[in-house]
Amino acid sequence: MTKLLPLIALVWAAGTASAQPAAGSATAGSAAAPAAGSDAGSAAPAAGSAAPAAGSAAGAGSGSAATPPPPPPIVVVPCPTLPDHVVDKVDNVELPANEPIELKLNVAIAADLPANALLAANAGEVKCIKFQANGTYAFHSTANAHGLITVKAWYDVEADHPIEEQGTFWMPKAVNEAANESDDMFYSVLGLSIFFFVAITIVVIYFTWKYRHRPGHKPQPSPAHNDALEITWTVIPTIIVVFLFYYGWRSYIRVVTPPTKAVEIQVLAWRWNWQFTHSNGVTDSDLHVPAKTPVRLVMTSKDVLHSFYAPAMRVKQDVVPRRYTYAWFYAKTPGTYRLTCAEYCGTNHSQMACLSNDPETGACLRRAVVVVHSADDYERYLNDKQAESLTLPPIELGKMLYEKKGCNACHTVDGTPRVGPTWKQPDWDKMIQMNDGKMVKMDENYVRESILLPQAKARPGYPPSMPSFEGQLKEKELDGLIAYIKSLKQ
Ligand code: CUA
């Protein structure tokens, strides 16, 4: 029995050591991360999410009278020497707006809508075009095969890329510089545990066989103690445990001490979305960060406990209401990586930060991700994203916010109720009943109040679970959301 004591000590020490660097805990979770289910879907161009963008804006947006007429959706441009984006088959693809696209097909294609006629190309022709408006562009070949091009901002196209997960059996690819230390720690603890488990099991089985009861054998009294043996089984595990502690502590200190010069990003979590606010005020549900620069996250929650978990960064940190917690990492390589909430926060926890749903099944097509850019692209992201929120027509802005602010987690736009009422508004400008029996007119003022003070006038039959968006939406964004809801009248 005493033989087992040092082993228990070792296993216990191993357990605590691995729990310390936020990394060790990555192991079990990453394989079975709640996100696993819908990955295949995320690769597919999120069809449906981008409804006819360019066209509708002009007609429906009554508030957009002052904005200049939208640019033509497609223009022909000279081909770059090294094209980044090539369409070489009739298929569903996602492409960035305002970047040259090379059409290079061995069949002739034509656009489904006359307004997009410039999309047409002859078989074998190399032609370059540029999409100037987000939206979907359907096209077909002369052989009557059909394709759909979904055009989005370039950074959203990158966020839609399939998640990079290739790694070992135990862990996804490590992208954070500090991950090497914690990964080494994990593998040492794992190796030691396996070694001692196997060694002790073999000895137990051997002794059970060797000292089994046989007729004619008398049991001999056990020796009271053996100094040499006891010193050995105390000193060796102690040395191992001290090493584990030292390396665990050293990398833990690194994990909790961000460098003073870091890109700082504010993180706000709520049921069920993330909001990342950058230094220039740009907000997004995807975390866009520069590579080869320390990034520090200052995190808090609007409602309950969430946990920010980026497995490729080996970063997992609770996000707590009414206080700030911190995390930091230094991403080595650009790419698109998984991001999940790792703390059960309510019914939709496993769907937290779902940014696009299948319109028919309601299944999540894509969840928020970490996108690591080169330093230049991160700057470009900050500028382009800021410009986007200033130039989008109100309905388009509202539609974007519907997904980016996570409204879609609780509200549908097709008439079916979810956690909250649907945004489809047949009752616009009519009187509707509240849960206290009063009648209120469904108009701009009601929608505005419901966004800022959701519980002020609540509809019957829905839980009072919506958080306030007071202080988190600019006036223009509020107008956009109202315009979008209003546009869903029919
Ligand atoms: Cu947020 Cu789980």
Asked if residue 387 and residue 400 are part of one domain, the reply reads no
As a whole number, the mean pLDDT across the chain is 81
> Is the beta carbon of 343 within 6 A of some atom in ligand 1?
yes
Q: 279-332, pLDDT tens digit by residue? A: 988 888 999 999 999 999 999 998 899 999 999 999 999 999 999 999 999 999
Q: How far is the CA of 384 from the centre of ligand 1 (A)?
A: 29
Domain assignment present for residue 109? The answer is: yes
Q: Taking Cα atoms as reference points, which of 277, 300, 298 lies closest to residue 287? A: 277
pLDDT attached to residue 377: 92
Q: Are residues 268 and 345 in the same domain?
A: yes
Q: Are 265 and 289 in contact (CB under 8 A)?
A: yes
Domain assignment of residue 17, yes or no: no
Q: Measured from the CA of 306, which atom of ligand 1 is nearest?
A: 1
User: Of how many residues is the chain composed?
Assistant: 490
Q: Is residue 410's pLDDT more than 80?
A: yes
> Above pLDDT 70, what percent of the chain?
86
Q: Which range has the worst mean pLDDT, 9-18, 63-72, 239-248?
A: 9-18
306 alpha carbon to ligand 1 midpoint, in Å?
A: 5
Domain contains 480: yes
Q: What is the mean pLDDT of residues 351-361?
A: 83
- Domain co-membership, 384 together with 417: no
Residue 369 has pLDDT above 80, yes or no: yes
Residues 407 and 259 in one domain: no
For ligand 1, the distance from its centroid to the CA atom of residue 54, given in whole angstroms, is 35
- Residue 1: which pLDDT band, with cuts at 50, 70 and 90? very low
Host H or E run for residue 273: strand 273-277
Give per-residue pLDDT as tens, 169-193.
888 888 988 888 888 899 999 999 9
User: Is 58 within the bounds of a domain?
Assistant: no
**Band of pLDDT at residue 485, cut at 50, 70 and 90:** confident
Same domain, 272 and 173: yes
**Domain with 371 in it: what CATH number?**
2.60.40.420
Q: For residue 274, what are its two tokens? A: 């993330």
**Are 88 and 142 members of one domain?**
yes
In a domain, 85, yes or no: yes
Domain termination residue (choose one: 111, 128, 152): 152
Give SS3 for 157.
helix
- Of these ranges, 199-213, 358-372, 401-415, the one predicted with the greatest mean pLDDT is 199-213
Ligand 1, atom nearest to 349 Cα: 2
Q: Are strands 109-111 and 135-141 parallel, antiparallel or unpaired?
A: antiparallel
The answer, yes or no, to whether residue 75 has pLDDT greater than 70, is yes
Do 367 and 432 fall within a single domain?
Answer: no
pLDDT at res. 187: 92
Residues paired with 268 in a beta bridge: 275, 300
Is the residue at 125 inside a domain? yes
Q: How confident is the model over 36-58, as a mean pLDDT? A: 39
Query: In what helix (H) or strand (E) does residue 159 lie, and over which residues does it extend?
Result: helix 154-159
Note the pLDDT tens digit of each residue in 199-223. Answer: 999 999 999 999 888 888 887 888 8
Kindly state if the Cβ of 341 falls inside 6 Å of ligand 1.
yes
Q: Are residues 410 and 287 in the same domain?
A: no
Task: Find out whether the beta carbon of 35 lies less than 6 Å from any atom of ligand 1.
Answer: no
User: In this structure, are strands 85-87 and 335-338 parallel, antiparallel, or unpaired?
Assistant: unpaired
- Report the pLDDT value the prediction gives residue 489, as an integer from 0 to 100: 78
In a domain, 278, yes or no: yes
Highest mean pLDDT among 31-35, 118-122, 314-318, 410-414: 314-318
Ligand 1 atom with minimal separation from the 272 CA: 1
Looking at the structure, do residues 295 and 258 belong to the same domain, yes or no?
A: yes
Which of 36-50, 112-126, 380-394 has the lowest average pLDDT? Answer: 36-50
Q: How far apart are CA 90 and CA 123, in angstroms?
A: 12
- How many angstroms separate the alpha carbon of residue 342 from the centre of ligand 1? 6
Overall pTM > 0.85: no
Q: Domain count of the chain?
A: 3
Q: Which of 107, 128, 152 is the last residue before a domain boundary?
A: 152
Task: Supply the range of the domain harboring residue 442.
Answer: 392-487
187 shares a domain with 121:
no
Domain boundary among 152, 173, 191: 152
Model confidence at 61: pLDDT above 80: no
pLDDT of residue 459: 83
Residue 254: C-alpha distances to residues 23, 82, 120, 296, 485 (Å)? 12, 42, 56, 13, 47
Residue that wins the pLDDT comparison between 401 and 15: 401
Answer yes or no: is 20 within a domain: no
Name which of 150, 155, 174 is nearest 164 in CA terms. Answer: 174
On whether both 280 and 299 belong to a single domain, the answer is yes
Q: Which atom of ligand 1 is nearest to the CA of 352?
A: 1
Instruction: Give the tens place of pLDDT for each residue, 414-469.
Output: 888 888 888 887 788 888 888 888 888 888 888 888 888 888 888 888 888 788 88
> If you take atom 1 of ligand 1, which residue's CA is the nearest one?
306
Confidence class of residue 21 from pLDDT cuts 50, 70 and 90? Answer: very low
- CA 419 to each of CA 51, 305, 478: distance values in angstroms, whole numbers, following the listed order: 23, 19, 21
Tell me if 345 CB under 6 Å of ligand 1: yes
AA letter at 267: V
pLDDT for the residue numbered 328: 93
Task: Quote the pLDDT of residue 490.
Answer: 65
Confidence of residue 34 (pLDDT cuts 50, 70, 90): very low
Identify the bridge partners of residue 126 per DSSP, sorted by sequence position: 104
In angstroms, the CA 185 to CA 248 distance is: 7
Q: Are residues 314 and 184 in the same domain?
A: yes
The CATH number assigned to the domain holding 409 equals 1.10.760.10
Q: Which of 8-17, 51-60, 266-275, 323-332 has the lowest mean pLDDT?
A: 51-60
Cα–Cα nearest to 408, from 455, 351, 454, 457: 351
- Of residues 207 and 126, the one with the higher pLDDT is 207
